[in-house]
Amino acid sequence: MRRTAVALSAAALAITLGACSQGGSPAAPDNSGQQQTENSGSSFKDISSLVSSAKSSMSEKEAVTVSFEGTGAIQSLGSTKCQLDIAQTEMACTGPTEMVFTRDGLYVKSPQLAQLSGDPSKPWLKMSANDSMAQQLGQLGKINDFGTMLPPGSNITSSAKEQVDGQDATRYEIVTDLKAAVAGAKAEEKAAYEALVGAGVSEIKQTVWLDAEGLPIKANSTTPALNVAGQQIPESTMTVRYSDWGKPVQINVPPADQVQEKQQ
Q: Per DSSP, what are the bridge partners of residue 220?
A: 207, 239
Q: Would 232 be classed as within a structural domain?
A: yes
Q: What was the pLDDT predicted at 61?
A: 86
pLDDT in tens, 10-33: 445 444 444 433 322 222 333 333
Q: What was the pLDDT predicted at 90?
A: 87
Q: What was the pLDDT predicted at 48?
A: 87
| Residue burial 58-84, b: 16+ Cβ < 10 Å; e: rest | beebbbbebbbbbebbbeebeebebbb
Cβ atoms of residues 49 and 156 within 8 Å: no
List, as own/partner pairs, every contact residues 157-166 make where C-beta atoms lie below 8 angstroms and the sequence separation is at least 24, other chains included: 159/43, 159/44, 160/43, 161/43, 162/209, 164/209, 164/217, 164/218, 165/217, 165/218, 165/241
Q: What was the pLDDT predicted at 180?
A: 92
Q: Would 257 be classed as within a structural domain?
A: no
Q: Would 207 be classed as within a structural domain?
A: yes
Q: Would 39 be classed as within a structural domain?
A: no
Total domains in the fold of the chain: 1
Q: Mark the ranges of the chain whose per-residue pLDDT is less than 70.
A: 1-42, 73-78, 132-148, 188, 228-229, 263-264
Cβ atoms of residues 21 and 190 within 8 Å: no
Q: Would 191 be classed as within a structural domain?
A: yes
The domain that holds 210 is classified in CATH as: 2.50.20.20
Q: Would 30 be classed as within a structural domain?
A: no
Q: Would 262 be classed as within a structural domain?
A: no
Q: Would 16 be classed as within a structural domain?
A: yes
Query: Going by C-beta distance under 8 Å and a sequence separation of 6 or more, which residues neighbour residue 178?
Result: 153, 193, 196, 197, 201, 202, 203, 204
Q: Which amino acid is at 120?
A: P
Q: Give me the domain span that covers residue 99.
A: 2-24+44-252
Q: Is the dihedral of CA 170, 45, 27, 181 positive or negative?
A: positive
pLDDT in tens, 200-254: 788 888 899 999 888 999 988 877 777 766 777 778 788 889 999 999 998 999 9
Instruction: Provide the whole-model pTM.
Output: 0.75
Q: What was the pLDDT predicted at 194?
A: 83
Angle at the Cα of 50 from the Cα atoms of 49 and 55, rounded to 5 degrees: 100
Q: What was the pLDDT predicted at 33?
A: 34
